[in-house]
Amino acid sequence: MAPATANTKIEDQEMLTVSTSRFGELTVSPDKVIHMTSPFLGFPDSKNFMLKPHGKESPFMWLQSLETPTLAFVVIQAAIIAQEYAPHIPNYVKQELKASKDDQLEILLILTVPKNDLKKITANLLGPLVINTKQRLAKQVLQDPTIYDACWPIFK
């Protein structure tokens, strides 16, 4: 999930302008847009997102909806906070995301950050976001609830 960098291939592509409630107007190159092969449960109208790093030194990123200005999730690479996390990704999901190899897939976790107590931040291990970084396709893939929790505290 590298932030947008200079890329000769995109030079003649027009940047998209996105209005957001948190960040004002953002621009994104069309080839950085992430398309949900099925939308997040609860947000059927948002199918395209962009990743916005929180800051240079921060592992947190924003997953901002391109269709809904107010919709943005805080996300993080799963490996950063849960090294042994190994969600099950069925073959049909790999096909849906057009991933021929597992190493094309990246796992992001959606974080719930309470406004009044940041330390009570939790990660949703039950519904990780699986992204094919090359094809820019993504899907929230439900896991076994006896193994993984939807509100897993990331601080002990």
Partner 1 sequence: MLILARKIGEAIAIGDDTIIRVLEIKGGQVKIGVEAPAEIAVHREEIYLKILEENKRAAHEAPADLSALTSALTENRQTGKK
Of 49-78, binders to partner 1 (CB under 8 A) are 54-55, 57-60, 71-74, 78
110 binds partner 1 (CB under 8 A): yes
Cα Rg of the chain, angstroms:
16
Q: Are strands 16-20 and 152-153 parallel, antiparallel or unpaired?
A: unpaired
Report the C-alpha gap between 138 and 36 in whole angstroms. 5
Structure tokens at 91: 């073959």
Give the other-Cβ count within 10 Å of 67's Cβ: 13
CB of 4 to partner 1, least distance (A): 20
Report the C-alpha gap between 78 and 124 in whole angstroms. 10
Residue whose CB is less far from partner 1, 28 or 140: 140
Kindly write out the interface string for residues 15-54 of this chain, putting x where it contacts partner 1 by CB under 8 A and - elsewhere.
-------xx----------------xxxx----------x
140 binds partner 1 (CB under 8 A): yes
CB of 35 to partner 1, least distance (A): 18
Report the C-alpha gap between 43 and 56 in whole angstroms. 29
CB of 26 to partner 1, least distance (A): 13
154 binds partner 1 (CB under 8 A): yes
155 binds partner 1 (CB under 8 A): yes
Distances (CA, A) of 153 to 34, 44, 64: 27, 27, 23
Amino acid letter, 28: V
Residues that bind partner 1 (CB under 8 A): 22-23, 40-43, 54-55, 57-60, 71-74, 78, 80-85, 90-92, 95-96, 110-115, 118-119, 121, 124-127, 140, 142, 145-152, 154-156
